[in-house]
Amino acid sequence: MMEQLGLTGVTKEIVLSVLIVAVSFIAAKLLDFLIRWIGRHVTSRTRTELDDALIKAIEKPVIYAVILVGFYIAAHRLALAPDVKGTTLKIIDSILFTLAILVGASILWRVSDTFIHWYTHTVAVRTSTRFDDEFAPLIGRVVKALVFFIAAIVILDYFGINVNSLVVSLGVGSLAVALAAKDTLANIIAGIVIMVDRPFRIGDRILISSGEKGDVYDIGLRSTKILTFDNTLIIVPNAQIINEKLINLTYPDPKIRVRIDVGVAYGTDLEKVKKIMVDVCKEHPDVMGEPEPQCWFIGFGDSSLNLSVRCRVPNFGQQWRVEEEIRMKINKRFEEEGIEIPFPQRVVHVKK
């Protein structure tokens, strides 16, 4: 047919190469139609959205890959022409190889990004731990960097560039960065330990070694944020908080004890006082019935007989309010019963 058209030599191969490229575009268009059809009629019927997202992610790179295959076949067909130099084919091959590696890296990058996005928005939000919330995006970034790093190494090696020296340089540079950022790395490693070991969780009330008390507001890779009762944030580096003594007032049970200490005048009926204090606790709607409130005579003071009543509330957030309400009620009952809460006093004997 080419001879009938009067085409010979280079012209014939050019026409064939153009036809091959045109066929690759048509094949890419058909493949695009097939992928869209699968997305509409197959994956749309499944319960998960992951397959829909994966098909959408790889759709364009796969089409580009088909077109690149067409260009590769066309270039090697064109190389059969007697007047085409080998250097031209090498240049075309180099360009196509680079584009193919980039397309392959793009597919891997899109697949990993789609999976991480699906996991963080579908699975991680349903779990009680923040481990996956924090680490899923981090793993996604590491995978992306690794994919493009490997792609760069493969391309450089194809062009004959010695990658061994580059890898050594990167290793030395990484060591220098690690030494310069050792505190940051220590905090990140400590953050990983906190998320795995989980000595405290978001919302827990903790007491740190420096004496500050508050609720855990956020656990990050570098630091932990504690919301104090003054509504201010204490930001503690993870390396510090993991190496010091810490008291978790919430874990493993959010129930917390309420303690009210009272001093009454000498000569007061202690059994009566103990009964009043226990009854006040039992009457409070937020005080738990089990374990029952109990009151103890705890000592002889300089000016009073000291007693302590203790009970439990379901949640640490109720502690201060319940303590205040019980104190108010005890004071009112003492006034009604004529029980005296004495002022500090001293008895002085003057020797003549």
Contacts (Cβ under 8 Å, ≥6 apart) of 282: 289, 292, 293
For the ranges 45-49, 81-85, 114-118, 330-334, the lowest mean pLDDT is seen at: 81-85
Name the nearest CA neighbour of 321 among 256, 274, 234, 253. Answer: 256
Residue 331 has pLDDT above 90, yes or no: yes
Contact 83, 144 (CB under 8 A): no
Residue at 352 is within a domain: no
Residue at 276 is within a domain: yes
- CATH code of the domain covering residue 333: 3.30.70.100
Q: Answer yes or no: do 205 and 72 share one domain.
A: no
Name the nearest CA neighbour of 57 among 9, 108, 19, 23. Answer: 108
Under the banding of pLDDT at 50, 70 and 90, the label for residue 2 is very low
Q: What is the mean pLDDT of residues 261-280?
A: 93
Name the nearest CA neighbour of 164 among 172, 145, 97. Answer: 172
pLDDT at 5: 41
Residue 276 has pLDDT above 50, yes or no: yes
Q: What is the mean pLDDT of residues 80-96?
A: 68
Higher pLDDT, 234 or 39: 234
Residue at 43 is within a domain: yes
Residue 43 has pLDDT above 80, yes or no: no
pLDDT at 254: 81
Q: What is the mean pLDDT of residues 108-130?
A: 71
How many structural domains is the chain composed of?
3
Residue at 24 is within a domain: yes
Q: Answer yes or no: do 106 and 150 share one domain.
A: yes
Residue with tokens 């180099």: 94
- CATH code of the domain covering residue 215: 2.30.30.60
Q: For residue range 186-230, what is the model confidence (pLDDT) as tens digits?
A: 877 888 788 777 888 888 888 888 888 888 888 877 888 999 888
Residue at 346 is within a domain: no
- Residue ending a domain, among 141, 162, 183, is 162
Residue at 268 is within a domain: yes
Q: Answer yes or no: do 22 and 153 share one domain.
A: yes
Higher pLDDT, 81 or 292: 292
Higher pLDDT, 14 or 250: 250
Q: Answer yes or no: do 289 and 244 share one domain.
A: no
Residue 4 has pLDDT above 50, yes or no: no
Q: Beta-carbon neighbour count of residue 212 at 10 Å?
A: 14
Q: For residue range 222-231, what is the model confidence (pLDDT) as tens digits?
A: 888 999 888 8
Q: Answer yes or no: do 299 and 221 share one domain.
A: no
Residue 238 has pLDDT above 80, yes or no: yes
Residue at 168 is within a domain: no
List C-alpha distances in Å: 23 to 18, 19, 71, 89, 178: 9, 6, 10, 21, 52
Residue 9 has pLDDT above 70, yes or no: no
Q: Answer yes or no: do 129 and 59 share one domain.
A: yes
Q: What is the mean pLDDT of residues 76-80?
A: 67
Q: Answer yes or no: do 241 and 266 share one domain.
A: no
Q: Answer yes or no: do 85 and 200 share one domain.
A: no
Q: Answer yes or no: do 85 and 220 share one domain.
A: no
Residue 311 has pLDDT above 60, yes or no: yes
Neighbouring C-alpha atoms within 13 Å toward the C-beta of 215? 10
Average of per-residue pLDDT values in the chain = 79
Contact 71, 96 (CB under 8 A): yes
Q: Answer yes or no: do 236 and 95 share one domain.
A: no
Residue 53 has pLDDT above 80, yes or no: no
Full domain range(s) for residue 261: 256-337
Residue 245 has pLDDT above 80, yes or no: yes
Q: For residue range 145-180, what is the model confidence (pLDDT) as tens digits?
A: 788 888 888 888 777 777 666 666 666 666 666 665
Q: Answer yes or no: do 69 and 88 share one domain.
A: yes
- Residue ending a domain, among 218, 248, 278, is 248
Under the banding of pLDDT at 50, 70 and 90, the label for residue 278 is very high
Q: Answer yes or no: do 231 and 279 share one domain.
A: no
pTM of the shown model: 0.52
Most confident of the ranges 39-53, 55-69, 276-290: 276-290
Residue at 15 is within a domain: yes
Helix extents (H) in the chain: 9-41, 50-78, 86-118, 131-158, 163-180, 182-197, 238-243, 270-283, 319-337
- Residue ending a domain, among 206, 222, 248, is 248
DSSP assignment of 113-145? HHHHHHIIIIIGGGSS-SHHHHHHHHHHHHHHH
